[in-house]
Amino acid sequence: MSSAEAKGENGTQISKMAKMSGDASTLDKIPPDTLSKVQEHLKCFHLSLEKLQVVSARLRKDMVRGLGKHTHHKAPVKMLPTFVRATPDGTEKGDFLALDLGGTNFRVLHVRVVEEEQKVLKMDSQICAIPKEMMLGTGEQLFDHIAACLSDFLVSQDLKGQTLPLGFTFSFPCEQKEIDKSILIHWTKGFNCSGVVGKDVVKLLKEAIHRRGDYDIGSVAMVNDTVGTMMSCGYKDQSCEIGMIVGTGTNACYMEEMSNVKRVEVREGRMCINTEWGGFGDDGSLKDILTEFDVVVDETSINPGVHTFEKMISGMYLGEIVRLLLVRLTEDELLFKGRASKALLTRGKFETKFISEIEEQDSSLKKTQNIWKLLGLKCDAVDFRVVRLVCSAVSSRSARLCAAALATIANRIRVNRGLDRLKTIVGVDGTVYRKHPK
């Protein structure tokens, strides 16, 4: 949970998100000639405040396009209505099931909420893996797997025979028609299951459960992971009106004035909008800040030209950006004595979690030996500091872009309400946010 304060056009201050890259202890121990050459390679990752303000202004325009009745279909930032009209008020109670699908694993949960104590009394969960081949297989295989894991969980919790309401977090771009009807627009984050795009994913889940015939579920509420994050944070603090994910992918949602949501007939009150900001730049508006490494990452992904902003920020791609940079520095004999290993030259071998381990405050060559062993690299003290500098440049750019986008949303809420100053809470989740040390 983070706080965001919007003051004027570009005054949003965000904790944890904007620490500068390249601490002095790292820079001091790299030979000056090597350092200047490395920094030249990293220069394209350093975004000035002025450039971030330009990025924010572009996103602001795209958000307006996404909300428009006649412009949303061409908008890269989809601004999808969620039909969630309010954040929790603490009176919620009962037993609920939850499914959280948004990456290579998905979670099944049983939650018990008690109104009197305004807290979650019980929360049991189970993590289920999704095999790589299933991510690229048929939709029926995927949903049958989800239904099977849910069945196993119900048995383990002694819930078979009960019909409980289910919250379904499906973290892919969807056109939500109703709270229990959501059409997949396209896959992201390494998924490309056939027979799902253009279909109602709630219906596909129910059909998979009915095919089994050994249990049933009650009403289904379909939410994006950003909405779920905002709602769970809002249960503890009612001033939370923004949700943000920085994990395998990245996205955000916020409470928008209904008068601005032109695609829904109701004009009073507010509605949570799923921005799908990962698609920002898909129309080419971010070409001036894309590096050659970003271009390669996009071209070699399973969805070229899609989710440009996400590919500069999220855990699915940060490791690959770093790997490409390390290959270039090795080719220029600035790393590893110019000798690249087979693993370093292999796409996907430098994992994003390595970035977090290398950037830990007490990280050292000795503590990261396992990384170099996995990559088949002989890494000395200077190599380690150069790699750390590269990781810091890539992760800092990610943080600054997130901060600029979050500032855009906070300022939109402030302007919508005619305020000089807005203080709000941001619910934040995702593996990159939780595990990255800075």
Q: Tell me whether strands 220-223 and 240-246 are parallel, antiparallel or unpaired.
A: unpaired
Helical axes 49-67 vs 381-416, angle rounded to 10° = 50
Share of the chain above pLDDT 90, in %: 73
Radius of gyration, CA atoms only, the chain = 22
pLDDT at 65 over 80: yes
Q: Annotated active-site positions, please?
A: 189, 225
Residue 76 one-letter amino acid:
P
Residue 246 has pLDDT above 50, yes or no: yes
Question: Rounded to the nearest 10 degrees, how much is the dihedral formed by the CA atoms of 202, 208, 214, 215?
Answer: -10
Structure confidence at residue 232 as a pLDDT band (50, 70, 90): confident
Among candidate residues 405, 391, 307, the one with its CA nearest the CA of residue 356: 391
Residue 337 has pLDDT above 50, yes or no: yes
Show Cβ contacts of residue 61 under 8 Å, excluding neighbours closer than 6 positions. none
**3-state SS string for the chain:** CEEEEEECCCCCEECCCCCCCCCHHHHHCCCHHHHHHHHHHHHHHCCCHHHHHHHHHHHHHHHHHHHCCCCHHHCCCCCEECCCCCCCCCCCCEEEEEEEECCCEEEEEEEEEECCCCEEEEEEEEEEECCHHHHCCEHHHHHHHHHHHHHHHHHHCCCCCCCCCEEEEECCCEEEEECCEEEECCCCCCCCCECCCCCEHHHHHHHHHHHHCCCCCCCEEEECHHHHHHHHHHHHCCCEEEEEEECCCEEEEEEEEHHHCCCCCCCCCEEEEECCHHHCCCCCCCHHHCCHHHHHHHHCCCCCCCCHHHHCCCHHHHHHHHHHHHHHHHHCCCCHHHCCCCCCCCCCCCCHHHHHHHHCCCCCCCCCHHHHHHHCCCCCHHHHHHHHHHHHHHHHHHHHHHHHHHHHHHHHHHHHCCCCEEEEEEEEECHHHHHCCC
CB atoms within 10 A of CB 66: 24
Averaged pLDDT score across all residues of the chain:
90
- What's the token pair of residue 178? 């109703």
Give the separation between CA 390 and CA 325, rounded to whole angstroms: 7
pLDDT at 121 (0 to 100): 65
- The predicted pLDDT at position 6 comes to 64
List all residues 6 or more positions away from 10 whose beta carbon is below 8 Å from its beta carbon. 53, 56, 407, 411
More confident residue, 9 or 6: 6
* pLDDT score of 15 more than 50: no
- The pLDDT of residue 11 is above 80: no
Residue 10: what pLDDT? 46
Q: Where does the pLDDT of residue 263 fall: very low under 50, low under 70, confident under 90, or very high at 90 and above?
A: confident
Answer for the pair 66, 256: CB distance below 8 angstroms, yes or no. Answer: no
pLDDT, residue 16, reads 36
pLDDT of residue 22 exceeding 70:
no
> For the chain, what percent of residues have pLDDT higher than 70?
92
Inform me whether the pLDDT recorded for 264 exceeds 90: no
Provide the pLDDT for residue 3: 64
| Alpha carbon distance 41, 45 (integer Å) | 9
d(CA 244, CA 255): 12
Give the per-residue pLDDT at 429.
93
Supply the pTM of this predicted model: 0.84
Highest mean pLDDT among 113-122, 216-225, 419-428: 419-428
The β-bridge partners of 245 are 251, 429
Which range among 93-102, 196-205, 390-399 shows the weakest confidence by mean pLDDT? 93-102
Q: What are the tens digits of pLDDT across the range 292-301?
A: 999 999 999 9
For residue 94, how many C-alpha atoms fall within 13 Å in the half-sphere facing its CB? 10
Beta bridge partners of 114: 119
Q: Band of the pLDDT at 20, cuts 50, 70, 90? A: very low
How confident is residue 236, by pLDDT bands cut at 50, 70 and 90?
confident
* Dihedral (CA of 341, 354, 251, 56) sign: negative
Q: What is the mean pLDDT of residues 267-287?
A: 95
pLDDT of 7 over the 70 cut: no
Which residues, other chains included, contact 236 with Cβ-Cβ below 8 Å and sequence gap of 6+?
Answer: 1
Q: What is the predicted pLDDT for the residue at 2?
A: 66
Contact 196, 173 (CB under 8 A): no
Q: What does the pLDDT average to over 332-358?
A: 97
